[in-house]
Chains A and B, each alone.
Chain A
């Protein structure tokens, strides 16, 4: 038999009145929890293995054991001495990218959400399209541009290029939120004599705090995890984010995975910390990425 949705909807009242929802039985859902834990264990096993190996000495023929029974921090020592500077570079690039991206994207998100001017609709379409442009295409042309203006191998160059990748997404994410703000909020301020800009700073920004935080987190993670831009727009050791440090490790024949995994753990820390302490923003951003 077939069940059409309208027919099912017609039954809704009957269903909810004659058959009140039974409380879930605890005993029946315990096996589900166990299956859930097993699925998660399989999915995050690589992350476990990263941490596990980072605490072991695997140099030479030694293979990693399934648990760090005799943990050593030699891997982390090597990681810090070889990658400490790169870690700092990544931090500088990622934080600066957040500042540049928010400075450009927040007003634009508001402008696109509130002002229906000629040109905003095409701009919105262009922003959507930029999401489809492969980064390698951007890198290919930016290399020649940056070479001409002397921005290769520089923080400024990487920050600008990283921001370029992040700005469209940040705008789309924040615009979706700002569009849902009641216009009356801002209009009240405008009646009181505040200009568009004052109203934006004193009303829109505080109200949109959650959306701005979400955009900031995703911009940070994007810039922090960037590999391709750093790979293509640097040719010397002058500026070297940690992702390039990892790539240099695994590009050659690895004999000791301890330091490599220790560096990977360090590179993964921001993501793990944000997932633990800012999960609601992360989930919101993940959805925003698809809804826009």
Chain B
């Protein structure tokens, strides 16, 4: 009646698909990172073995160091602010005022837009000469700020836009976490005199801690991957001031056509991602077991 073979047919296509489109690329990237793989390879079919030369070349290049630092700043800055603002909004919407559900729903809009459309409108909002932000600041006599064209400001501007993008996701997940905290706990605590901050630290925070770790680790993993936003806003410039590991990998492979070096940068990115992935898996499995 129930043959094992038919059952395997349910999962086999997906397994093959994942093997071809994730397994193969990951393995292929490792191999390419040890090869001199360039456009020439496509014509000659030859990709000479170069050992660790690609890694030596990226670790000694200043752009890589810049990318690494920027990736750290971009990720930490985005995650901290997204989380703090997201939690603030989730607590705010939990107060269930008229229209709160409707407003909370609309809040998802920025999260659903194509990233490149968001990049386009932010590039326009942050335009130095006629962008809306500088027009607005001009009302208060602030001179035009070169948000995306100054090497000192561009990374901050890009982080700001990424925070805007991440707020809806953080708010939604944290809100659902807050919903799961039984209201009776608050009512009982208020009898003991714990309200406001006290209630937050002693009831809310311990209750949502596992949701918090999921949101933060998913946020880190997604933020490490960001390419669209940066390419759209600054292209990694000015003067590599917004170059991250992900955009650097793109540049090496698809602008310089140094696929071997691009693969090496990708592998560094993958190692960083996997460290966080492992933390995430450990936490989510623990959550499942509990």
Q: Which residues of A contact B (CB under 8 A)?
A: 1-5, 7-12, 14-16, 19, 21, 24, 26, 29-30, 32-33, 35-37, 39-40, 43-44, 46-47, 49-50, 53, 58, 61, 63-64, 103-105, 107-108, 110-112, 115, 117, 120, 123, 125-145, 147, 160-161, 163-164, 167-168, 171, 190, 195-197, 200, 221, 224-225, 227-228, 231-232, 243, 246-247, 249-251, 254, 257, 260-261, 263-264, 267-268, 271-272, 274-275, 279, 282-283, 286-287, 289-292
Interface pair B8/A117, CB less than 8 Å apart: yes
B116 in contact (CB, < 8 A) = yes
On whether A14 and B227 interact (CB within 8 A), knowing A136-B249, A144-B28, the answer reads: no
Tell yes or no: B286 within 8 A of A by CB. no
Closest to B188 in A: A11
CA distance A290 to B214 in the complex (A): 7
Report yes or no: A50 in contact with B172, Cβ–Cβ below 8 A: no
Q: How many A-B residue pairs have CB under 8 A?
A: 352
In the complex, the answer to whether B105 meets A279 with C-beta atoms within 8 Å is yes
Contact B22 A138 (CB under 8 A): yes
Contact status A108-B14, CB under 8 Å: yes
Q: Which B residues form the contact surface with A (CB < 8 A)?
A: 1-2, 4, 6-11, 13-15, 17-18, 20-22, 24-26, 28-29, 32, 37, 41-42, 89, 92-93, 95-100, 103, 105-125, 130, 132, 135, 164, 167-169, 172-173, 176, 182, 184-185, 187-194, 198-199, 202-203, 206-207, 211, 214-215, 218, 221, 224-225, 227-228, 231-232, 235, 246, 249-250, 253-254, 259, 262-263, 266-267, 269-270, 273-274, 276-277, 280-281, 284
Chain B residues within 8 Å of A161, by CB? 21
18 A-B pairs with CB atoms under 8 Å apart are A3-B203, A9-B184, A15-B191, A29-B98, A37-B99, A49-B125, A50-B121, A58-B130, A132-B273, A133-B22, A134-B249, A140-B25, A144-B28, A164-B22, A167-B21, A196-B10, A249-B120, A257-B124
Q: Are A168 and B281 in contact (CB under 8 A)?
A: no
Compute how far the CA of A267 lies from the CA of B118 in the bound complex, rounded to whole angstroms. 10
- Would you call A196 and B6 a contact (CB within 8 A)? yes
- Whole-angstrom CA separation of A16 from B185 in the bound complex: 10
Q: B105 touching A232 by the CB < 8 A rule?
A: no
**CB of A84 to closest CB in B, whole Å:** 17
Residues B192 and A3 in contact, CB atoms below 8 Å apart:
yes
A261 touches B121 (CB 8 A): yes
A92 to B108, CA, bound (A): 25
Of A49, A58, A200, A232, which one neighbours B250 at CB under 8 angstroms? A232
CA distance A10 to B192 in the complex (A): 12
Query: Which residues of the partner chain B approach A135 to less than 8 Å between Cβ atoms?
Result: 225, 227
- Bound-state CA distance A261–B118 (Å) is 10
Main secondary structure of the interface of A (DSSP, over half): helix
CB distance from B60 to the nearest CB of A (A): 21
- Find chain B residues with CB under 8 A from A287 CB: 172-173, 176
Q: Is the CB of A137 within 8 A of B25?
A: yes
Q: Tell me the bound Cα distance from A8 to B202 in angstroms.
A: 10
Instruction: Sort A-B residue pairs by CB-CB distance and give the 10 closest, nearest first.
Output: A111-B10, A164-B21, A108-B14, A225-B114, A11-B188, A141-B25, A32-B97, A271-B112, A132-B277, A141-B28
Q: Using A110-B10, A140-B259, A225-B116 as known contacts, say yes or no to A11 and B1 having CB atoms under 8 A apart.
A: no
Taking CB atoms, residues of chain A closer than 8 Å to B187 are 12, 15-16, 19, 21
Partner of A36, one of B99, B259, B266: B99
Chain A residues with CB under 8 Å of B190's CB are 15
Contact A283/B98 with A12-B185, A167-B18 known, Cβ cut-off 8 Å: no
Query: Could you say which of B26, B122, B185 contacts A8, with CB atoms under 8 Å apart?
Result: B185
Closest to A251 in B: B235
Q: Are A115 and B7 in contact (CB under 8 A)?
A: yes
**Other-chain residue from A1, A5, A291 in contact with B193 (beta carbon distance below 8 A):** A1
